[in-house]
């Protein structure tokens, strides 16, 4: 019995570390970055192993962690380290769902926005030459999307179903505004 107990104590750390590994250490580059980013990265990439978009979509907390990271991230801070990037500002949040627009809708309707305004609750982007606009009121959970041409379906005055959906719309809007240097 004593031998079994000693063997178990000795082998337990080896067994605990067996199996597939999350992106351990991927967040090390954030140790000198904006305060709080390193911890959010560890929670997203390492603790929950959410760098894979399929896994990220299956976790409810993934969007809130990614959105918190995006809110804290400064202009010189990198994208979430475990997210694949293509040389630009990275891919949009994989779990971001929005009943008003997709990232493709925004890219088609607002490829070069002439104006972007945001104050945390209100997000507005427009492109005057196309007659396109995307407006979100997060607190009232209301959005308006005008495609401006026949390539994109307009979704006027859409009531969002949840705060997560409102956060998803804000994340996609913010991502597109950064991509187009509108903010």
Give the DSSP H/E element, type plus range, for residue 157: strand 155-159
Q: Is the pLDDT of residue 145 over 90?
A: yes
Overall average pLDDT of the 124-129 stretch: 92
Instruction: Yes or no: say if 4 and 44 are a contact pair by the CB < 8 Å rule.
Output: no
Q: Scan for tokens 């809110």, then name that residue.
A: 71
List of residues 6+ apart from 127 with CB closer than 8 A: 109, 110, 111, 112, 113, 114, 133, 148
pLDDT of the residue at 51? 52
pTM of the shown model: 0.52
pLDDT of the residue at 117? 92
What DSSP letter does each residue of 103-133 carry, written as one string? HHHHHHH-SS-SEEEE-SSEEEEEETTTTEE
For the segment 70-97, what is each residue's pLDDT rounded down to a tens digit? 778 877 888 788 765 434 445 556 557 8
């Amino acid at each position: 019995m004593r031998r079994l107990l000693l063997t178990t104590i000795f082998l337990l750390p080896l067994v605990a570390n067996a199996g597939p590994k999350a992106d351990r250490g991927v967040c090390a580059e954030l140790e000198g970055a904006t305060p709080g980013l390193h911890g959010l990265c560890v929670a997203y990439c390492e603790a929950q192993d959410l760098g894979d978009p399929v896994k990220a979509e299956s976790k409810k907390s993934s969007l809130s962690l990614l959105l918190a990271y995006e809110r804290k991230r400064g202009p010189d801070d990198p994208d979430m380290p475990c997210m694949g990037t293509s040389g630009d500002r990275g891919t949009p949040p994989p779990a971001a769902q929005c009943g008003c627009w997709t990232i493709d809708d925004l890219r088609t309707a607002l490829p070069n926005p002439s104006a972007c305004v945001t104050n945390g609750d209100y997000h507005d982007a427009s492109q005057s030459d196309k007659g396109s606009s995307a407006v979100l009121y997060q607190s009232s959970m209301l959005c308006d999307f005008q495609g401006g041409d026949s390539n994109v379906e307009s979704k006027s005055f859409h009531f969002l179903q949840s705060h997560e959906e409102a956060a998803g719309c804000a994340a996609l809007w913010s991502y597109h505004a950064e991509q187009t240097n509108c903010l």
